[in-house]
Amino acid sequence: MSADPKKVRRTKRLRWSILFLIVALIFLVLARQWMFKEMKPVDALTRIRERGYLVALTDKNSLNYFIDHGNPEGFQLELLQSFADFLEVPLKIIVNNDVSRLYYYLDLNAGDLIALNIPVTRDGKKLIHYSDPLGETRMVLIQRKPGLNKTGRKFIRQLDDFSGDTVYFRKNLFVESLLPDINKKAGKKIFFCPETEKNTLELIKMVSESKIDYSICDENLAMVVKRYYRNIDASLVISDFFQYAWGTAHASDSLLININDWLMSMKKKELRNIYLSYYDNPRVIRYFNCDYCSFNGTKLSPYDEVIKTSSRLIRWDWRLLASLVYEESNFQQGQVSSHNASGLMQLMPETAEKFGMDSTSSPSRQILAGVKYLRYLDDQLPARIKDPYERICFTLAAYNVGLGKVMRAREKAEQYGLNPDKWNGNVDYYLTRKSRKKPDIRPDTLDDISLYGTEGGFVDNIMTRYMHYRNIVPE
């Protein structure tokens, strides 16, 4: 008997349905695996290597990171540069005085580590991985000395003396875990008020100026600032000793290992010397007295207004031009190089004469002459170099070594298959490595990597300092 055609068709449909379901199931499994692979967090060290530079998060205008007479300085900055050198990568810094926001950047992988003296606490371990400790300290109360309290507030000699008083602190989710225990000891008679815009130094200044009555800070910082703010008292210790460290995201085990390896590789004396240079050095007091320290304002030099006006001629950020002036003369007049270059912008005699400068020229005329020379060099560069950033790098290089050498380096880069219109890792190779004909490795292709360059060199120095100026000095 022949098979029933309807049953045959039903059987075929069933087989095709089963086959379709199997294929769909396999597809879903593979898609899930692919999605899981895509969503899996990338370890921070891998991300740093792929990106080409380290991104550190810290605050500004504190002892951690500031500008003094045009020079970037700071406890955390020195440590970060040492660690970046250990990893053999350039350094980029993102700043914010709200530590909660820094943690937000870390959580989004916009930064690789938080470089602050973060208290090591049980609650903190839920948020970050701590590095090995950098040191230890404790919290103290900042208030005006007895008899110097213009607002009539009482002098707090022990925690029991509080009676519903407001104590300001720089908003910091890592410090906040210490506050409940302090308030408990005070009989819950303290109202802690977080400040997001101001850092700890600014709050201490406000106490000294009677704008607020109480603040808190680390004891090691208090010992520094009370040398300058003589009406400040920091004798009341309000917490036990705690260790402080850097912080990384929980998915950054290999980066954490490298941080700890770097700390181990540093001689204890080296770390201590960096610490003492900021926390136990009488010269730090001059930072608080100086108009050209970012603690006190936004001035880089006595020539800021001239630099701002002159920078418009070449449409540069004035902070970039300021970085060039600092590189040439440290903002000091009367400098004459061994090659007879002179002035704030160190022009050679023939160049100075061509652009209207002589030995009697005022600082404004010296800067203007240098800017006119920069504009001349930019005009001589090939129009095919269209990227503004690249033109700046080529202009700076020509300012330093001459246009002819830069053009020959471009030709050599093109000869060996590199991009003659890109500076870092391409044309700069043939100015800084004159003895070699061809690179041993492929250069980095990041457009802005020289902004964070660790290599020595005129352009890298200027662009790196400019990055610091942008972080700290308002536009």
Domain boundary residue, one of 240, 259, 292: 240
Percentage of the chain beyond pLDDT 90 is 70
Structural domain contains residue 60: yes
* Enclosing H/E stretch for 210: none
Q: Within a domain: residue 39? A: no
One domain for residues 166 and 212: yes
Judgement on whether residues 330 and 422 belong to the same structural domain of the protein: yes
Pair (369, 448) in one structural domain:
yes
State the CATH number of the domain containing residue 188.
3.40.190.10
Q: How many CB atoms lie within 10 A of CB 406?
A: 25
Q: Based on the fold, state whether residues 211 and 259 are members of the same structural domain.
A: no
User: Hunting for tokens 């090995």 — which residue is that?
Assistant: 132
* Helices 388-401 and 318-329, axial angle in degrees (round to 10): 20
Q: Which two tokens stand for residue 133?
A: 């400790």
Let me know whether 108 and 206 are in one domain. no
Query: 157 with 199, same domain?
Result: yes
38 assigned to some structural domain: no
- What digits encode the pLDDT tens for the residues 129-144? 999 999 999 999 999 9
Residue 350 lies in a domain: yes
Question: Which pLDDT value is given to residue 432?
Answer: 67
DSSP 383: T
Domain shared by 258 and 398, yes or no? no
Q: Domain tally for the chain?
A: 3
Contacts of 347 (CB under 8 A, 6+ apart): 341, 355, 357, 366, 369, 370, 373
Q: How many residues does the chain have?
A: 475
14 within domain boundaries: no
Task: Indicate whether 19 belongs to any domain.
Answer: no
CATH of the domain at 358: 1.10.530.10
Cα separation, 44 vs 251, in Å, equals 7
Q: Are 225 and 361 in the same domain?
A: no
* 164 lies in the same domain as 220: yes
Distance, CA of 327 to CA of 324 (rounded, Å) = 5
- Residues 378-403, mean pLDDT to the nearest whole number: 96
Q: Name residue, tokens 């492929």.
A: 442
Tell me the mean pLDDT in the region 207-236: 94
Q: Which of 220, 179, 184 is closest to 200 using CA atoms?
A: 220
**Does 445 score more than 50 pLDDT?**
no
Are 456 and 445 within 8 A, CB to CB?
no
Residue 345, domain extent = 304-472
Q: How many angstroms separate the Cα of 463 from the Cα of each of 96, 205, 266, 332?
A: 21, 33, 28, 20
Q: Is the pLDDT of residue 451 over 60?
A: no
Strands 91-95 and 54-58: parallel
Residue 6 lies in a domain: no
What's the chain's average pLDDT? 88
Cβ neighbours of residue 244 under 8 Å, at least 6 residues apart?
117, 118, 119, 120, 133, 134, 135, 136, 137, 218
Domain boundary at 212, 240, 268, which? 240
339 and 210 part of one domain: no
- Chain segment 322-365, per-residue pLDDT in tens: 999 999 999 999 888 888 999 999 999 999 999 999 888 999 99
Instruction: Give the Cα separation of 93 and 59 in Å (integer).
Output: 10
Please tell me whether residues 219 and 251 are part of one structural domain: no
| 432 and 315 fall within a common domain | yes
On the question of pLDDT at 148 being above 80, the answer is no
Q: Angle CA(398)–CA(401)–CA(405) in degrees, nearest 5?
A: 80
Domain membership of residue 12 (yes or no) is no
Give the pLDDT mean for 178-193.
Answer: 92
